[in-house]
Amino acid sequence: MKMTIALICMLGLGSPALAQSAVTLTTESYPPFIYRNPDGTYHGSSVEQVEALMRNAGIPFTMEIMPWARAITLAETQPMHCVFSTARIPEREKRFKWVTPLSISRHVLVRLAGSGVTAKTLEEAKRYTIGTHRADFTETLLRERDFPSIDLSSDFEITLNKLLEQRVDMMPMSDNIYERLKSEGKPIEIVLPFSESHFGIACNKQMPDDLISRMQNGLDALISEKGQDEILQRYGLKPLRLWEK
């Protein structure tokens, strides 16, 4: 509730009438893109971008961190709900209306350092148990590519702990996340590339088109003014430099 009130008031849209039409944004904890501070407020590169584009669009909103499977289900089933940061993959394309990109990520398969897990191709990687979190786009990709042994958890941190405890052999993660974890001293190593994806906001199909256009225009303005790159760099992430295109 504190987060809801803070975000609506931050936009200067605290009246009951406007609050009733607020867009509900759901997400998961996935540092440095999205995380919860000790005081309960939300932070991260994707959080800052979403806050900025919604301000640009003049749209009131609320935001809540929850398990990913619940977050994406709410966006797919409830009007005026959106979920971020969501990989825009073919399987999801027609299930949502999209505002992109908040980020572009190359994903890799990672092992525990010194574990002896080896694979030169994705076909060879199918010999191992791959961990990921439930309803994440990487689960979809693993199933589409016929990986036979997939271990599912409720969130990224649980899967990472399973990898470090050798309860799974490999897990997919973005190259940015990999670099951050390595800098923190996590004993992990890249096995091979897995995928490249655009991430953005996925909104319920009933979301009015004018709201989607305003949100996209808000993000486009952030990109053209180089604000997106500044936010990404602040969190140690590679700038996308989309304003050059």
Per-residue pLDDT of the chain (245 residues), as tens digits, is 334 434 443 444 443 433 447 999 999 999 999 999 999 999 999 999 999 999 999 999 999 999 999 999 999 999 999 999 999 988 899 999 999 999 998 899 999 999 999 999 999 999 999 999 998 989 999 999 999 999 999 999 999 999 999 999 999 999 889 999 999 999 999 999 999 889 999 999 999 999 999 999 999 999 999 999 999 999 988 899 898 86
Same domain for 129 and 78: no
**Same-domain status, 160 and 211:** no
Please tell me the predicted confidence (pLDDT) of residue 19.
40
Note whether 49 and 82 are same-domain residues.
Answer: yes
Where is the domain boundary, 181, 197, 213?
Answer: 197
Q: In whole angstroms, give the CA distance from residue 201 to residue 87.
A: 9
Residues 94 and 204 both lie in one domain: yes
Residues in Cβ contact with 21 at an 8 Å cutoff, skipping those fewer than 6 apart: 60, 80
Among 122, 121, 129, 150, which Cα is nearest to 138's?
150
Regarding whether 100 and 7 lie in a shared domain, the answer is yes
DSSP code per residue over 205-225: TTS-HHHHHHHHHHHHHHHHT
For the chain, what is the domain count? 2
User: CA-CA distance, 151 to 47, in Å (whole number)?
Assistant: 28
CA dihedral 244, 52, 183, 239 (to 10 degrees): 0
**Same-domain pairing of 11 and 63:** yes
In a shared domain, residues 164 and 121: yes
The separation between the first and the last C-alpha atoms of the chain, rounded to the nearest angstrom, is 40
CATH number for the domain including 168?
A: 3.40.190.10
Same-domain status, 45 and 99: yes
Beta strand residue intervals within 138-241, DSSP E: 150-153, 170-174, 188-203
CB-count burial class (<10 Å; 0-12, 13-18, 19+) for 177: buried
Contact between residue 172 and residue 194 where contact means Cβ atoms under 8 Å apart: yes
Domain end point (choices 159, 180, 197)? 197
Is the same domain home to 68 and 144? no
Q: Which amino acid, one-letter code, is at 44?
A: G
Q: Do 97 and 164 sit in the same domain of this protein? A: no
The whole domain housing 37 covers 2-104+198-244
Q: Are residues 46 and 153 in the same domain?
A: no
**In terms of domains, do 142 and 98 share one?**
no
Domain endpoint, select from 179, 197, 215: 197
